[in-house]
A and B are shown apart, each in its own frame.
Chain A
Amino acid sequence: MHFLYRSHVMVCGGTGCTSSNSEKIRAELDTKLEEYGLQDEIKVFKTGCFGLCAEGPIMMVYPEGAMYTMVKVEDVDEIVREHLLYGRPVKRLLAGDKEHMDITKALDSVAFFNKQMRVALRNCGKINPECIDEYIAFDGYKALEKVLTQMKPQEVIDEVNKSGLRGRGGGGFPTGLKWSFAARQVGDQKYVCCNADEGDPGAFMDRSVLEGDPHSVIEAMTIAGYAIGSNQGYVYVRAEYPIAVKRLDIAIKQAREYGLLGKNILESGFDFDIEIRLGAGAFVCGEETALMTSIEGHRGEPRPRPPFPAVKGLWQKPTILNNVETYANIPVIFLKGADWFSSIGTEKSKGTKVFALGGKINNVGLVEVPMGTTLREIVYDIGGGIPKGKKFKAAQTGGPSGGCIPAEHLDTPIDYDSLIQLGSMMGSGGLIVMDEDTCMVDIAKFFLEFTVDESCGKCPPCRIGTKRMLEILTRITEGKGTEEDIEKLEVLAKNIKASALCGLGQTSPNPILSTLKYFKDEYIAHVRDKKCPAGVCKSMLHYEINPEKCKSCGICAKVCPASCIKGEKKVPYVIDTDKCLKCGACMQKCPFGAISKV
């Protein structure tokens, strides 16, 4: 049995790749390696997210650094025999420049990778997240070692302050400042909490960090505990993330076994431990006060602030709550220094930000870029643009609390403040791209449906107000809206913003306000002309057959589920619009392009 292998094969074990069979691929790799007698030379590992989720399952072969994408179980035999036994990489599955002479350079020219900068995701796709030794080898727990052996708690806070790190969960509050508030409190018990209740539709960066690098969060929370004088941490994570929960649980157990959690960590006299609390997946539990109420065992509802958690948080004790991605940055700040960290990004937003790209974009996945990268670079260079060459219309950031950014602002450098100025917000980093076929009123309605569904019901502005807004939006999309409705929406939105109890309620009108700001003409077209310009809102469109193009083949009549298309040979077919369900099946099937939406 060799101690050093000649090749490591890393297979993504994130949620995305796992759901496309990466576990079977790993098992098949082990089987085939043994079949070809390579098991003592090559080792297969499970790893975290590489980010290119659209092309999963992903496999990386070291030492070459050759990446295979969209691997199927049936491809494994070829990869093992050709690449690993004979030294002939399987070009058809290679990511990047398939024809490059040197496969170690195949990825160099791929914008998806070379425009990124991985800080929070540094270990995702590099290490086996279920092995603490691998984390330690890649400088894991070195920051904790430095903090516990060389720094005083105040120096730790100063360093975080100096780095300029701001909360990655949504609000963007300076992390060092938050820590200093809690450190200043005198008390017998303080708590360190981690918000892993990622609830924005389309965001999955926290899940990926927990799945790919759980020890970085444990290390950072321990550092935070030392800084504010706490010896107990809680990670609040949704039960809908089973892989993340399992890996975090394994990681906590390993850290305890190694004495990196528990009593007298690294002989410093400092004690710290972490427990996991599972949430049931309620959006409101991502709000800090509701999250803590839920940890206490009560129904997850927010409470007014002040008092802020730093003064009275979990069980009325001083508490800090940071997001997973925020924590993932902490060890790097101590390893490379606050000056290094603050040299990345813009004046007021330092470091990098992870975005979950979704919607109408080619490279759906997870990307990490320096703050200040423009939306255009993210969408077109890294994201690979919009499928089918469609036009970019807008991008939604910040999920249901955020807003949309239209095409004219594609060149805005993205940071906390520029997004606020545009009427959106960073949020946790979900970035949903919309193309020309998207109706902005329909999008606003989609987010409002989410908010109404997830409203906890404690305060009337959110419970009743969002419901009323949704009713108005529904009216508008059904072609029954009036211009007065638009005014009402605006007034309601402003009132809810001003009066809702928690951050989620206050920001719930944002999708409406920002679509009204940039796409008011679409609202007006809906209410005044009873037209949906994007052709999405069904009640306002009907299908028509162009008699000049129609060849009377009858295919449309055959596919029509409502049997509402009539015609005969040599006479153009006609749709009975009263009976039409507007399913669009006829338009898709017409071989002559004679049917269109009007």
Chain B
Amino acid sequence: MTVSKLDQIRKENMSKLKIRKNQEGRKILIGMGECGMKAGAREVMQGFLKEFNANSIDDVSVILTNCENKCDLEPIVHVFDKDGTKTSYVNVTPEMAKEIVDEHIIKGGIIKKYAVLQNVG
């Protein structure tokens, strides 16, 4: 074992375990519940997970929430930036999930054609 090898192990595993520390950081909230699931929210969530894995994004928590009584807008995804700014996307599809990851989460730009609401935190 060398110092640099130890550092490498630390970095790799820290990335895997960030989920246990990242309560104040970035997160996405996905409406699940029965209506969300019927509208395909699970596929959307899996889409996000796939993109996070593909791009090694380890600092965005994925949190599921119950139905918000806006069932015809499901799947609803709220993206919270580090500063607490909340952007809501509705009727999200797995394809849109990829776009949201690429444009919003990686590049930090809001996708205006999808975003329905933004609250600065």
Interface of A toward B, CB cutoff 8 Å:
2-8, 10, 41, 62-65, 84-88, 104, 126-127, 133-134, 136-142, 145, 149, 258-260, 265-267
In the complex, chain A residues whose CB is within 8 Å of the CB of B20? 8, 10, 62-63, 126
User: In the docked arrangement, what's the CA distance between A140 and B66, Å?
Assistant: 38
A137's partner among B17, B53, B63 (CB-CB below 8 A) is B17
- Given contact pairs A63-B61, A64-B63, A86-B37, A3 touches B53 in the complex (Cβ within 8 A): yes
- Given contact pairs A63-B22, A104-B23, A126-B20, A4 touches B15 in the complex (Cβ within 8 A): yes
Q: Say yes or no: is B32 at the interface (Cβ < 8 Å to chain A).
A: yes
Would you call B64 and A134 a contact (CB within 8 A)?
A: no
B33's partner among A87, A136, A258, A260 (CB-CB below 8 A) is A87
User: In the docked arrangement, what's the CA distance between A2 and B19, Å?
Assistant: 14
Majority secondary structure, A binding face: loop
A258's partner among B1, B15, B36 (CB-CB below 8 A) is B1
Would you call A4 and B32 a contact (CB within 8 A)?
A: no
User: In the docked arrangement, what's the CA distance between A267 and B2, Å?
Assistant: 6
User: In the docked arrangement, what's the CA distance between A84 and B45, Å?
Assistant: 12
Q: Say yes or no: is B116 at the interface (Cβ < 8 Å to chain A).
A: no
Residue interface mask B77-107, A partner, CB < 8 A = 1: 0000000000000000000000000000000
Interface of B toward A, CB cutoff 8 Å:
1-3, 6, 9-10, 12-17, 19-20, 22-23, 27, 30-34, 36-37, 45-46, 49-50, 52-53, 56-58, 61-66
Q: Would you give the shortest CB distance from A209 to chain B, in whole angstroms?
A: 19
- Given contact pairs A63-B23, A63-B63, A133 touches B1 in the complex (Cβ within 8 A): no
Count A-B pairs with CB separation below 8 Å.
97
- Given contact pairs A6-B49, A258-B1, A63 touches B33 in the complex (Cβ within 8 A): no
B28: nearest chain-A partner, CB-CB: A6
Q: Would you give the shortest CB distance from B75 to chain A, in whole angstroms?
A: 12
- Given contact pairs A4-B52, A63-B63, A266-B6, A133 touches B19 in the complex (Cβ within 8 A): no
In the complex, chain A residues whose CB is within 8 Å of the CB of B34? 86
User: In the docked arrangement, what's the CA distance between A170 and B33, Å?
Assistant: 54
User: In the docked arrangement, what's the CA distance between A5 and B49, Å?
Assistant: 8
A136's partner among B10, B19, B22, B66 (CB-CB below 8 A) is B10
Would you call A7 and B14 a contact (CB within 8 A)?
A: no
Would you call B2 and A266 a contact (CB within 8 A)?
A: yes
Q: Would you give the shortest CB distance from B32 to chain A, in whole angstroms?
A: 4
Would you call B23 and A7 a contact (CB within 8 A)?
A: no
Output the residue of B12, B17, B33 with the most chain A CB within 10 A: B17
Q: Would you give the shortest CB distance from B61 to chain A, in whole angstroms?
A: 4
List the 10 shortest-distance A-B pairs measured between CB atoms, nearest first.
A87-B64, A259-B1, A137-B13, A63-B61, A87-B32, A6-B62, A137-B14, A133-B13, A88-B66, A62-B20
Would you call A2 and B27 a contact (CB within 8 A)?
A: no
User: In the docked arrangement, what's the CA distance between A104 and B19, Å?
Assistant: 13
User: In the docked arrangement, what's the CA distance between A85 and B61, Å?
Assistant: 16
- Given contact pairs A63-B23, A87-B66, A259-B1, A4 touches B49 in the complex (Cβ within 8 A): yes
Would you call B3 and A8 a contact (CB within 8 A)?
A: no
User: In the docked arrangement, what's the CA distance between A41 and B53, Å?
Assistant: 11
A137: nearest chain-B partner, CB-CB: B13
In the complex, chain B residues whose CB is within 8 Å of the CB of A3? 16, 53
In the complex, chain B residues whose CB is within 8 Å of the CB of A258? 1
Would you call A141 and B53 a contact (CB within 8 A)?
A: no
- Given contact pairs A4-B58, A63-B27, A126-B20, A86 touches B13 in the complex (Cβ within 8 A): no
Would you call B65 and A137 a contact (CB within 8 A)?
A: no
Q: Would you give the shortest CB distance from B29 to chain A, in whole angstroms?
A: 9
Would you call B19 and A8 a contact (CB within 8 A)?
A: yes
In the complex, chain A residues whose CB is within 8 Å of the CB of B62? 6-7, 63
What are 28 pairs between A and B in contact, CB < 8 Å?
Answer: A2-B49, A3-B16, A4-B16, A4-B49, A5-B19, A6-B19, A7-B62, A8-B17, A10-B20, A41-B49, A63-B63, A64-B63, A65-B23, A86-B32, A87-B32, A87-B63, A127-B17, A133-B9, A133-B12, A133-B13, A134-B13, A137-B9, A137-B17, A139-B10, A141-B6, A145-B6, A149-B3, A267-B2
User: In the docked arrangement, what's the CA distance between A562 and B80, Å?
Assistant: 71
Would you call B1 and A260 a contact (CB within 8 A)?
A: yes
User: In the docked arrangement, what's the CA distance between A139 and B37, Å?
Assistant: 39
Would you call B65 and A62 a contact (CB within 8 A)?
A: no
Q: Would you give the shortest CB distance from A188 to chain B, in whole angstroms?
A: 27
Would you call A134 and B17 a contact (CB within 8 A)?
A: yes
In the complex, chain A residues whose CB is within 8 Å of the CB of B12? 133
B2: nearest chain-A partner, CB-CB: A267
Would you call B33 and A266 a contact (CB within 8 A)?
A: no
B16: nearest chain-A partner, CB-CB: A4
User: In the docked arrangement, what's the CA distance between A317 and B58, Å?
Assistant: 50
In the complex, chain B residues whose CB is within 8 Å of the CB of A145? 3, 6
In the complex, chain B residues whose CB is within 8 Å of the CB of A259? 1
Q: Would you give the shortest CB distance from A206 to chain B, in whole angstroms?
A: 25
User: In the docked arrangement, what's the CA distance between A203 and B40, Å?
Assistant: 52
Would you call A87 and B23 a contact (CB within 8 A)?
A: no
Would you call A85 and B9 a contact (CB within 8 A)?
A: no
Q: Would you give the shortest CB distance from B10 to chain A, in whole angstroms?
A: 5
Q: Would you give the shortest CB distance from A95 to chain B, in whole angstroms?
A: 16
User: In the docked arrangement, what's the CA distance between A147 and B61, Å?
Assistant: 35
Would you call B17 and A138 a contact (CB within 8 A)?
A: yes
User: In the docked arrangement, what's the CA distance between A3 and B57, Å?
Assistant: 11
- Given contact pairs A41-B46, A63-B61, A86-B37, A7 touches B19 in the complex (Cβ within 8 A): yes
Q: Would you give the shortest CB distance from A141 to chain B, in whole angstroms?
A: 6
In the complex, chain A residues whose CB is within 8 Å of the CB of B66? 86-88
Q: Would you give the shortest CB distance from B43 to chain A, in whole angstroms?
A: 12
In the complex, chain A residues whose CB is within 8 Å of the CB of B52? 4
Can you add 7 more A-B contacts, CB < 8 Å, to A86-B33, A104-B23? A3-B16, A8-B17, A85-B32, A87-B31, A134-B17, A137-B10, A139-B10
In the complex, chain A residues whose CB is within 8 Å of the CB of B53? 2-4
User: In the docked arrangement, what's the CA distance between A10 and B17, Å?
Assistant: 12
User: In the docked arrangement, what's the CA distance between A490 and B17, Å?
Assistant: 58
In the complex, chain B residues whose CB is within 8 Å of the CB of A2? 49-50, 53
